[in-house]
Structure 1
Amino acid sequence: MKGKHRVIVSTKRLKYDFEIRRNITIIQGDSATGKTTLVDMIREAVNNPSGAAVDLVCDKKCFVLDGTLWKEQLAAVSDSIVFIDEGNEFIKTIEFSKFIQNTDNYYVIVTRESLPALPYSVEEIYGIKTSGKYGRLEQKFNEFYRIYGADIYKGSINPDIVVTEDSNSGYQFFKNICDDAHLRCESLNGKSNIFQYLNSHGNENTLVIVDGAAFGSEMHRVTELISEKKGIAIYLPESFEWLVLLSGIVRNSMLNSILESPSDFIESKEYFSWERFFTAVLIDMTKDSYLAYKKKNLNSAYLTDTVKKAILEKMNYINLN
């Protein structure tokens, strides 16, 4: 499945209207905010399609997954939007993560807990808020809002140290930048190590750079920690490869369309996260050129002054000079 898909589910008194655009969408929030009600309404509409109680409108089939037989149920579902309510322990398992990698569905998961086995985006974590007038005979309209946006930190920052989550080309690029600017740069070899590092270090000016496309499970505890400490900022590009593509150094007639609406091009069964897609695009668009990209070892062409300047200019609020 690819593209954006609008879901409208309603009764005479209650309505949800939202759009999803990635293979994994997370709905969070406290009790009594309407999360389980949404899933229950989807279930009622699917189980009783001819009934008049709940109306469901979507260009894709919708399905509610739960219980111990989830694998058997999911094996029969394809090209659908799958809703999963909190309380289903299987969503926390590596087995579930591996299983859904091979499906062409989108998944909407209700959970108050982080799911580290799943590579979900910081931009696809939502809460539900209620707006409009309240009255017995009037609809109560529920809409999604982003809990975390792409620009968590709005002020400018001049860090003393830069921390990245991996040791691949992204780290190699920023290490070179930091060496030139006489700044420290460290790789933490995995997103799960970011919190431990920040928790154990002082209040020095630290810039954390992570792949926003797959950092969703870490966002809650990391942002809580950042709110308690001074001088820490987090930068959340989709990925380093996305940042390179955004910089304009790669020329391709399809690139602007891809960057403007990635969901129209990303097949969920082929790419479990958008980071993998942008890596594949960058590799494909630069092959047989001086910018030929490799994930593990950064091509020295990306360390020329012109290329470095173009990439750094896309990093709003951040000064690494």
Structure 2
Amino acid sequence: MRLPDILSTHDPLLASELAQAIDNKTKPLGSLGALETLARQIGLIQQTTKVALHKPAILVFAADHGVVAEGISAYPQSVTWQMVENFLSKGAAINVFARQNGCALQIIDAGVNHDFGKRVALMDCKVGRGTANFAQKPAMSWAECAAALAHGMRIVGNLEGNVIGFGEMGIGNTTAAAALMHKLTGVPVADCVGAGTGLSPEGVLHKQDVIEAAVALHGEMSEPLDILATFGGFEIAMIVGAMLKAAERRMVLLIDGFIVSSALLVAARMQPAILDYCVFSHCSDEAGHARMLEHLKARPLLNLGLRLGEGTGCALALPLLHAAVNFLGEMATFQSARVSGQSA
């Protein structure tokens, strides 16, 4: 399987042209703050000062996790497929926010332990009916992990737009994400683990114990795909493939919360240049996400105390991308408005 090759967006000449275009707008220098940084980043991704957003989409990948058998979630595994049904009925938060912001939404069955049958609104990419319990054996075989990566790349390869957000649904996936975070960053397990969907303090400690025992069971490993196959989920692996392909296509990648960021940890270990394409929508309230963002040297756009997943942070941050693009394209310059510029 050929993995995407991602080019750095580093271009000093274009960066200078973008800075000049931004600074020449009718405003004090730097006064639009993070929007100026965002406009510059989008320009470098799109390789132009004439930036535009085209057909933004959010992909929500759903899958189940065998590690749920260890009692690491406050909710039963059946909630995964029930929430997928909620997505298909357009009743979830991501449906509301995507619709509100004019963003296409695609739901993907990456490996839910349920038979949905043929559904028009559901993309069937099921690799299996949930991963194995990584407390006992690797979550995925190499063949399963490779299949999930390939599905993610294929899905993004067929998209028409230039902005893509990533969401997920899977009971138990904060446990998988915490294990990935620990293995890929070296942060102690205790600082990676949080309450997920609402565990008690005792439940959080149990989750920590499960991950630490699993890490000891599987021994040392350093290759990112080995770590992904051992501790990840089908939805996380599919997101990794989707991210890599999206960056290869020079799309803007909107990164959601804790689980999606864990997928990015894998992708960035494989292709560090992918970070040039990433816009971090928010800092999740899930314990560990702030540290994860710190490791990635990321500055999130929002901090709303979210910990829902589904790609909700991406949908909520999308208007800020539009604002960045629109001020660069539509705001008057000092010359066109006949306004005196700032003196040195």
| Alignment TM-score, normalising by the size of structure 2 | 0.26
Query: Of Structure 1 and Structure 2, which has the larger fraction of its residues in helix?
Result: 2
Query: Of Structure 1 and Structure 2, which has the larger fraction of its residues in strand?
Result: 1
Higher relative contact order (CA 8 A, sep 6+): 2
